[in-house]
Structure 1
């Protein structure tokens, strides 16, 4: 019988991977800023049309902008934490699903212990 198991993918922090993460964070930050600016523009445009309730419209746009500001704060925090991490640290990148073959007589804990895949500069270094 086959079962699905969650496998943690961890990345070893190197100069290259650290720079890639900084670039990824910067890109997300720029995207969130653009979205916030676009929302402000849309809010002003819709307020001028007078087809909508001004108060409800303002509240909805403020909520959406606030969500993006919170995401930006989280990205800033992650960037600070990345600065503090030493090279060689392992950081969780994502989780993936894997099929595990189980048979009668198998030890359950051996089959379903925490499995991790360790990646260094895009290459699988180890499977634990």
Structure 2
């Protein structure tokens, strides 16, 4: 019988993957800053027009801008952690679903069912 099972995919941190992750985090941070600035601009524009109730509108814009700032703080933290991590560290990248064949008499042990795929520079290096 085949069953679906979650498989963890981990990436080995190399110089090139570290640089790529750093660039991705910085790009996301830049995009969030732009979105935050755009929200500020839209908020002021709508406030000047005074077409909508200002209390709910202010709350909505403030909530959106706070969410953007929280995401920026998280990215700053991730960038700090990335700088600390040594080359060769394994980072959990994602989880995927895979098929596992089980038969009557197989040992139903979580360790036997847990599978991990190790990727280094985009190439599968190991399946545990």
Secondary structure in structure 2 of the residue aligned to 1:11: strand
Kindly state the Cα deviation for residue 113 of structure 1 after the two structures are TM-superposed: 3.0
**Unaligned stretches of 5+ in structure 2?**
none
Using structure 2 for the length normalisation, give the TM-score.
0.94
> In the alignment, what sits opposite 1:125?
125
Kindly state the Cα deviation for residue 87 of structure 1 after the two structures are TM-superposed: 0.5
What is the CA–CA distance in structure 2 between the aligned matches of 1:38 and 1:97, rounded to whole Å? 38
> In the alignment, what sits opposite 2:5?
5
Kindly state the Cα deviation for residue 80 of structure 1 after the two structures are TM-superposed: 0.5
Using structure 1 for the length normalisation, give the TM-score.
0.94
Kindly state the Cα deviation for residue 2 of structure 1 after the two structures are TM-superposed: 1.9
> In the alignment, what sits opposite 1:26?
26
Matches within 5 A, 1:92-107: 92-107=92-107
**Unaligned stretches of 5+ in structure 1?**
none
What is the CA–CA distance in structure 2 between the aligned matches of 1:110 and 1:58, rounded to whole Å? 50
> CA offsets, 1:14-40, max 9 Å, x none?
000000000010110011011101111
Kindly state the Cα deviation for residue 125 of structure 1 after the two structures are TM-superposed: 0.4
What is the aligned length? Answer: 128
Backbone CA RMSD of aligned residues: 1.4
Kindly state the Cα deviation for residue 110 of structure 1 after the two structures are TM-superposed: 6.7
